[in-house]
Amino acid sequence: SPPAPQAKIACNAKDTAHTRAERNILEAVKHPFIVDLIYAFQTGGKLYLILECLSGGELFMQLEREGIFLEDTACFYLSEITLALGHLHSHGIIYRDLKPENIMLNSQGGFGGGGSGELGGSLWAVLTPPRPSGHIKLTDFGLCKESIHDGAVTHTFCGTIEYMAPEILVRSGHNRAVDWWSLGALMYDMLTGSASPAPAPSSLGTGGASLDGWGVAPEPSWPAWLFMAPRCPPQPPFTAENRKKTIDKILKGKLVLPPYLTPDARDLLKKVAPPKII
């Protein structure tokens, strides 16, 4: 048979190295918020990892469906993610690919709501604040870097652009601090949905339906998430129409925080996100 193309061989070798790294990490770290490795085996040059079943789906899908999380809900998930990252860091491991798609929910995943009530199920679902009913599990460890302890840095360019810290983008050498940058970007995702302005209260509803359709007048006391969620798809704080402009925004852009965020949320974002915050 003809020899395999060199590019394919290199790709396969790289994938194999990432899978082996993932297996090694999952064997070494055990934590309630990190996916469990059940079994690993190899056949014909392929390495298989049998992981625990996480039927709650991706956090990304939950965020996309809800549009925005209440601060209590975001705090719940972010706390668990922080514990998972801290556990990896204590073992000298940098995660380097934190994003909603790499965070799974256990079998209790999803959001609980209230009953249908006399207003109708769809409106009640909107008016009832979503609440977490599952726990996160960090997955996909192929881009992790091991043996990075205090003072050590690495220079590999890897990750998902929208969540990359500046030191990765400029290849100046990075350490575990890059995970906290990504956590700040994820926090922004959860609390804002996107940087676009909130729609007027009259436009609230699924598919553009208004509250008038239910015979309910909007109240000024209703929280901001009520007006943001149906219209704002989740986005990282720095995103643009192409790769180059996204990188420019990360390195030079200013992050605008919505006025409805509480002082605690604003303060935390300023600590883990870039200094150019307005």
Active site residues: 97
Tokens of 18: 């990432």
Is 220 strand, coil or helix? Answer: coil
Type of residue at 271: K
Is 47 strand, coil or helix? Answer: strand
Give the Cα separation of 83 and 145 in Å (integer): 18
Cβ contact 159:145 at 8 Å: no
Give the Cα separation of 57 and 66 in Å (integer): 14
List CB contacts of 41: < 8 A, sequence separation 6 or more: 47, 48, 50
* Full DSSP string of 184-235: HHHHHHHHHSSSSPPPPGGG-SGGG--GGGGT----TTS-HHHHHTTT----
Tokens of 194: 């996107």
List CB contacts of 3: < 8 A, sequence separation 6 or more: none
Is 62 strand, coil or helix? Answer: helix
